[in-house]
Structure 1
Amino acid sequence: MKFEKFFIPSGERDIRLEVVSARPVHDGPLPTIVFNHGSTGRGQNKAFYRRTVSPAVVANYFLERGWMTLFPQRRGRGKSGGDYGEGLAVDGSGYSCDADIAIAGFERAVEDMDAVLRHLKERPDVDKDRIVIGGVSRGGILSIAYAGMRPGTFRGAINFNGGWLGRACPSHETVNPRLFERGAASGIPTLWLHGSYDQYYRISHCRGNFQTFLSAGGQGTFVAAPMGHALMFKPALWESHVDQYMDGIASSRSP
């Protein structure tokens, strides 16, 4: 497998976003998944901001099944330009528990996803009828919510251990379900993969988020695996679930 790196315009003037891709060798148009990274722990170590995130375990899974994978790095992350501003406290202490600041950070991430979507629509090698969005942690909740905010775009959405605020913030009990609820309007089946022993999100909280999503009209399957927040790196625990899910959306009608 060979990763390729390129840059695309963001919605902010003169700022470009880094994108890492893993592409099958055969010609397109190719089914494509956009996979979104998470946060940087507590947000206190700025060195973490500049780490490009493109997990090989995800790329390998989809490459073996003929899918191209794109790993966008949002503003201020990896080698992307601009400042990282996804809900950081003004005093530099890391991520803020203030709900308004957290949700403003989420909206900033949505702006970057819009830039990625514009790029996808311009690419002749992307099968526009077979685009899936996925992600881990903050990228997981972003993927579910964004699919609902841009209905008719994605065939599926996959969430690994998703949440915007962890349980260290009391406001996570309201912010996370509020954001997940946005995804209900997508009208597509979704897959939620959560670790039963996640140190950031109690499994009861995750199930509650899922129920909020379903109550708002969302469609999905919830899987609780015997793992913590690093579930993504244990494909033996999720491959069969994703196989079944991908087979299902392959036979469904286009969005």
Structure 2
Amino acid sequence: MKFEKFFIPSSEADARLEIVAAEPQHEGPYPTIIFNHGSTGRGHNKTLYSRTVCPAIVASYFTERGWMTIFPQRRGRGKSGGSYGEGLASDGSGYSCNVEITIAGFERAVEDMDAVVRHLRERPDVDQGRLTIGGVSRGGILSIAYAGMRPATFQGAINFNGGWLGRACATHEIVNPLIFERGTPSGIPTLWLHGIYDQYYRIEHCRENFERFLSAGGQGTFIAAPMGHALMFKPALWKDHLDQYMDGLSMSQKS
């Protein structure tokens, strides 16, 4: 596995996005997954904004299967340009519970995903017929929703502990199912991996989000694991499920 860091244009002229790519050792073109980072807790600690997020445990899993993993840092995160504007309150207290501000922050993230997909479409080392998207926390719900907002782009979508607003905001009961339902037009199988003891999203809330997603026409599998919000760092709890899911994507590609 080899890591490469570079920058791509965003929707803002002066705000480039930092990308970290983990590539398998063999030559491409590679099946490719975009893996999206989450938020920064409550959003009030600005020192967390500048951390580049590219979990080695995720990169290792996919590169060992022959997949290239793309870790985009959305605007204002990592070393990306622009301001971090994913639903922060104007008084600097952290993430806003206001529904309109929250949804506007989500839409800003969608713009960055569009920039990443444009970049991948231009890369000869990407197998254009085998694109998948995934992420953790805010990145998980973003991945499910974006796959439906841009149908016929991805084979699959993977959600680790996904949600946009945590239970500290009463409006999470409105915002999270609303965003997840945007993923229903994708027409692809999705995988939802949630921790039973997640401190941000009650497992009952996560199940309700999933059931509403299915009722609205989405497809997916829901896994509840005995872990909290750090589920992604415990592969023993999800590897078999993700193996089965990825094998299913490979079979659908061959059929």
Partner of 2:202: 202
Aligned-partner Cα distance in 1 for 2:2–2:83? 29
Partner of 2:141: 141
Aligned-partner Cα distance in 1 for 2:14–2:250? 38
Aligned-partner Cα distance in 2 for 1:172–1:178? 10
Which string of whole-angstrom CA distances, capped at 9 and with x for unpartnered residues, describes residues 153-191 of structure 1? 000000000000000000000100000000000000000
Aligned-partner Cα distance in 2 for 1:25–1:100? 45
Partner of 1:223: 223
- 1:153 corresponds to 2:153: yes
Partner of 1:67: 67
DSSP-derived class of the 2:252 partner: coil
Partner of 1:165: 165
Partner of 2:100: 100
- Structure 2 runs not aligned, ≥5 long: none
Partner of 2:186: 186
Which string of whole-angstrom CA distances, capped at 9 and with x for unpartnered residues, describes residues 39-94 of structure 1? 00110011100000000000000011100000000000000000000000011100
Aligned-partner Cα distance in 2 for 1:11–1:27? 31
Partner of 1:236: 236
Aligned-partner Cα distance in 1 for 2:20–2:253? 29
Partner of 2:48: 48
TM-score (norm 1): 0.98
Partner of 1:127: 127
The one-letter code sitting in structure 2 at the alignment partner of 1:45 is: N
DSSP-derived class of the 1:251 partner: helix
Shift of 1:36: 0.1
Partner of 1:84: 84
- 1:246 corresponds to 2:215: no
Number of aligned residue pairs: 254
Aligned-partner Cα distance in 2 for 1:113–1:251? 27
**Which 4+ stretches in 1 moved above 2 angstroms?**
none
TM-score (norm 2): 0.98
The one-letter code sitting in structure 2 at the alignment partner of 1:35 is: F
Shift of 1:3: 1.8
The one-letter code sitting in structure 2 at the alignment partner of 1:97 is: C
The one-letter code sitting in structure 2 at the alignment partner of 1:148 is: G
The one-letter code sitting in structure 1 at the alignment partner of 2:227 is: M
Aligned-partner Cα distance in 1 for 2:178–2:218? 13
- What is the percentage of aligned positions where both structures have the same residue? 79
Aligned-partner Cα distance in 1 for 2:3–2:40? 22
The one-letter code sitting in structure 2 at the alignment partner of 1:198 is: D
Which string of whole-angstrom CA distances, capped at 9 and with x for unpartnered residues, describes residues 189-217 of structure 1? 00000000000000000000001100110
Shift of 1:253: 4.6
- Structure 1 runs not aligned, ≥5 long: none
The one-letter code sitting in structure 2 at the alignment partner of 1:66 is: G
Aligned-partner Cα distance in 2 for 1:3–1:25? 10
Aligned-partner Cα distance in 2 for 1:96–1:116? 26
Shift of 1:29: 1.1
Aligned-partner Cα distance in 2 for 1:2–1:232? 21
Aligned-partner Cα distance in 2 for 1:128–1:163? 28
Aligned-partner Cα distance in 2 for 1:66–1:252? 17
